Structure 1
Amino acid sequence: MSGSPKHELKKVLGVSFGVAVMIGGTIGAGILRTPGTIALMLDNYWLIVLCWLFGGVYVLMGVSSFSEMATIMPKAGGPYNYVMRAFGTYCGFLTGWLDYLINAIGPAYFCIVISEYVVILFPAWAGYETLVAVGFLLVFTAFHLVGVQGGSIAQQIMSLAKVIFFVVLIAACFFVKVDHISFGQPLPVLKGGLLIGMLKSMQLIVGAYDGWWSACFFAEEDKDPEKNLPRSLFMGAVTVILIYVIFNIALFYVVPLDSISTSTLVASDAAKVVFGSGGATFVVVLAIASLVSILNAYMMIPARILFGLSRDGFFVRQGMQVNKGGTPTVALLSSAALALGLILVGSFEALFSLSAFISLIVLGFAFGALIKLRRVEPNLPRPYRAWGYPWTSALVLLVTIGLFVGFAISDPYNFVLILIIVALSYPAYRLLIRKA
């Protein structure tokens, strides 16, 4: 049954899509909004840049590990496949649904935020934000129902446009004539307050980098996953890291640190310095371009996770249905229905605040799966091997655990919510297995 064309995804994607979906699924409103909050907590130029670089190194080590796992098991749904093979069905079930949760709330959130920015451009639409958000969701759902090829082309175009917008803003910051800012301020003394500030900053930075493994969700649709996936992951990661780090440096070049720390949208402040009165409009257009690109990616990702979960018996069998265009229709419509409900009810906000937290659980299990499979299945064909193993894989796992513990200390409310979710997952798993 699962081998019939109705239950098979089309192998039509390549490196360009992998890079585009990684850029599209990562660069969003986070990088535009977080610099001000981070500057308020750390208040030191070098420390802030160092934290963004640390996040980038963490991503690169993660990319290496995911490249090995994704080429061993190029299956729809990404990380949970690796976890299930290494640690069994329950861990796979838990990882898959947690991964689905943090990705499925994305379309609702991005549609809402897009509608808010659209209203800034068109003030006459004020009061109709929910309708605008629902309209974006319905349009993108209909677009992706047609087939995966159109979504792939759109993702590449929108991701390229997003990169161009960021490059223009960054270049303009360095060409504008401003008084050079001194970066020689002393590092603050490490103490409890600063450590908490660093942990909270890293939570924001990890959240801004979230999505760097997006290409893995589409491994089953790649024409040559053994070669394409590592290239897509590394090229996408390097692009995102360069944009994030240089963007922060550019902001510091034109906006004083004191002003950055009191700004809710420092990118707009920088654009006003560079482009004058039209700067605010430029940033709104940049934000919309970023969000539309990330929305397109997140319309595709949850459906792939749900398709994989359905095939493994963790969702209804109808979730495996694929149309002639290669779209898992029931999985897409189910995810769109969830997003629609979240837009109308607005209850997704609390869930979205958990995303960076929960993603560490998914990543921790995935990194652990690499180490476990290296030990128990040493002869497994590995088209790509993680560089620096076992040191880099052990280090990225330890860093993930350390970040999770740090987040638990600095954000106990969400930590308790995660414990409740995990506790409820096992009875749900047993019930599902019994019915199956």
Structure 2
Amino acid sequence: MSETKFKPVLGLWDATMIVAGSMIGSGIFIVSADITRNVGSAGWLVGVWLITGFMTMVAAVSYGELSGMFPKAGGQYVYLKEAFNPLVGFLYGWSFFAVIQTATIAAVGVAFARFSAYLFPWMSESNILLPLGFIDISAAQVTAIIMIIFLTWVNTRGVKEGKLIQSTFTASKLIAVFGLIVFGFLLVKQNYWSANWQTGFGAMQDLGVGNNGVTPTGWKEIGGIALLGAIAAAMTGSLFSSDAWNNVTFIAGEIKNPQRNIGLSLFLGTLIVTVLYVTANLMYLYVLPLDGIAYPNADRLAIAAANQIFGPAGQTVIAVLIMVSTFGCNNGLILAGARVYYTMAQDGLFFKKAGELNKNAVPQWALWAQCVVACLLCLSGRYGDLLDMISFVVVIFYALTIAGIFILRKTRPDVPRPYKAFGYPVLPALYIVMGLTFCVLLIWQKPVFSGAGLLIVLIGIPLYYIALKKQKAES
């Protein structure tokens, strides 16, 4: 027997843990190395994270208005559909299914496996289990796939099971990351704070940037438009690390008092994570020299920091922390993502089976469809490329969604708004300008992957009209 509607069983604490838990994966432990190679100074390393945090929080508090207006499953898909038209909503939902959510799940799953290999070496990417010629399937990829399948199965059992994993693992990793930061400042024997801050905001870029921790081929001073381009390139990592905060809007149908709790959880979750991310980077600047931040072994920055703090045990400490972090992160992504496909199916714009709930009141078919795509992306082996595409596509849709606030204020003035976008119209407009500027600069810096991301979005246009034609034929 199947259920016909979602059950509101998640409170404010649960919603906040979904926001924070979906944001914190592996990024904060890795991407500051690439950021440093792009901008080359302590000031701009922290500056990139502050800009990202500002954009994330402005977007989150702006979404509070939309979540109060449309407190139902589907989140951003619904907001875009209501503000613009069903086509724009579909393009987001299609991109979400094709790359945004599924590629993020895949990348986080592989990060879990990579760091698990510190404790269980047979899980490493170098352990090739199936050499097929055109693709080599490693133990790390298989581990990631097993993790994704397991968490998908858990979430088909009901939202309470997913909630328990999310709250437990998110609380654990928040405490652990906070502890790492505190111990970094208290226990390290030699600090590099003064030396690192002598670089100030004098931006430098590694001539070999993008080569993932190789010996530097030299640095060059940058400024003006070149600095803006370097910041945009650096922000692909920080934006990925700060993304997925909007996942809580997808499960609005399962949250108690969604008009209040979604907006509040967005604010609290993004605030907690932004503070944690900025202080983590301050800790890196305290315990490692700038070259040590830019060139840790295989970009495993947190392990380099932990070795300075805890000695040889640091590697194990960070491996366990990242395993906990990525496991909880992927649970939140898997739990929330399927609700978008469910809502699209209800509108006749996705596979019909995705619009059905099982006896546990969760969209089981949509969960497994998401699982299949994420597992296939685990086999791609091109996670950095996927993240570049994700960053470009995600920010375009964030900017469009926030533009929807301006549109809905004119076209739907009578819809109740329990929250109103903080700083309207200045802060939402500023986000749109910053977001579009980032996208333009990213096209300039990484045209291949940005173009691929745009192509994925555009493929959705014919798919939309095929779905409409099928819908008419069935009616």
Q: TM-score, normalised by structure 2?
A: 0.87
Following superposition, the deviation at residue 138 of structure 1 comes to 2.5
**1:331-355 alpha-carbon deviations (Å, 9 max, x no partner):** 1111112223333565776444311
**2:273 alignment counterpart:** 240
| Matched position secondary structure for 2:402 | helix
Contact 1:103 1:301 in 2 (8 A): no
Letter in 2 for 1:74: P
Aligned ranges 1:11-410 → 2 under 5 Å: 11-101=8-98, 102-126=100-124, 127=127, 128-176=139-187, 177-179=189-191, 181-182=193-194, 183-188=197-202, 190-263=223-296, 264-344=299-379, 346=381, 350-410=385-445
**2:5 alignment counterpart:** 8
Following superposition, the deviation at residue 5 of structure 1 comes to 6.9
Letter in 1 for 2:56: V
Q: Which runs of 4+ in 1 moved over 6 A?
A: none
Measure the CA separation in 2 of the matches of 1:389 and 1:130.
45
Following superposition, the deviation at residue 123 of structure 1 comes to 2.0
Contact 1:159 1:293 in 2 (8 A): yes
Following superposition, the deviation at residue 125 of structure 1 comes to 4.6
Following superposition, the deviation at residue 154 of structure 1 comes to 1.0
Contact 1:149 1:325 in 2 (8 A): no
Aligned positions, number:
433
Contact 1:105 1:351 in 2 (8 A): yes
Measure the CA separation in 2 of the matches of 1:42 and 1:383.
41
Unaligned segments of structure 1, at least 5 residues: none
Measure the CA separation in 2 of the matches of 1:221 and 1:235.
19
Contact 2:191 2:288 in 1 (8 A): no
Of 304-313 and 183-192, more deviation after overlay is shown by 183-192
Following superposition, the deviation at residue 41 of structure 1 comes to 1.6
Q: 1:243 to 1:115 in 2, by over 3 A?
A: same
Following superposition, the deviation at residue 249 of structure 1 comes to 0.2
Contact 1:216 1:229 in 2 (8 A): yes
Measure the CA separation in 1 of the matches of 2:121 and 2:436.
46
Letter in 2 for 1:131: V
Following superposition, the deviation at residue 325 of structure 1 comes to 2.0
Following superposition, the deviation at residue 58 of structure 1 comes to 1.0
| Matched position secondary structure for 2:3 | helix
Measure the CA separation in 1 of the matches of 2:83 and 2:229.
34
Q: % of aligned pairs identical? A: 28
Q: 1:28 to 1:122 in 2, by over 3 A?
A: same
Following superposition, the deviation at residue 382 of structure 1 comes to 0.7
Following superposition, the deviation at residue 180 of structure 1 comes to 5.1
Following superposition, the deviation at residue 148 of structure 1 comes to 0.5
Measure the CA separation in 1 of the matches of 2:97 and 2:304.
36
Q: 1:431 to 1:57 in 2, by over 3 A?
A: same
Letter in 1 for 2:318: V
Q: TM-score, normalised by structure 1?
A: 0.94
Measure the CA separation in 1 of the matches of 2:179 and 2:383.
33
Following superposition, the deviation at residue 153 of structure 1 comes to 1.4
Contact 2:15 2:265 in 1 (8 A): yes
Letter in 2 for 1:156: S
Following superposition, the deviation at residue 309 of structure 1 comes to 0.9
**1:413 alignment counterpart:** 448
Contact 2:334 2:367 in 1 (8 A): yes
Following superposition, the deviation at residue 132 of structure 1 comes to 2.4
Q: 1:113 to 1:229 in 2, by over 3 A?
A: same
Measure the CA separation in 1 of the matches of 2:4 and 2:386.
31
| Matched position secondary structure for 1:151 | helix
Contact 1:254 1:273 in 2 (8 A): yes
Q: 1:346 to 1:270 in 2, by over 3 A?
A: closer
Letter in 1 for 2:260: K
CA RMSD of aligned residues (A): 1.9
Q: 1:99 to 1:339 in 2, by over 3 A?
A: closer
Q: 1:371 to 1:288 in 2, by over 3 A?
A: same
Following superposition, the deviation at residue 313 of structure 1 comes to 1.1
Contact 1:7 1:320 in 2 (8 A): no
Measure the CA separation in 2 of the matches of 1:167 and 1:221.
30
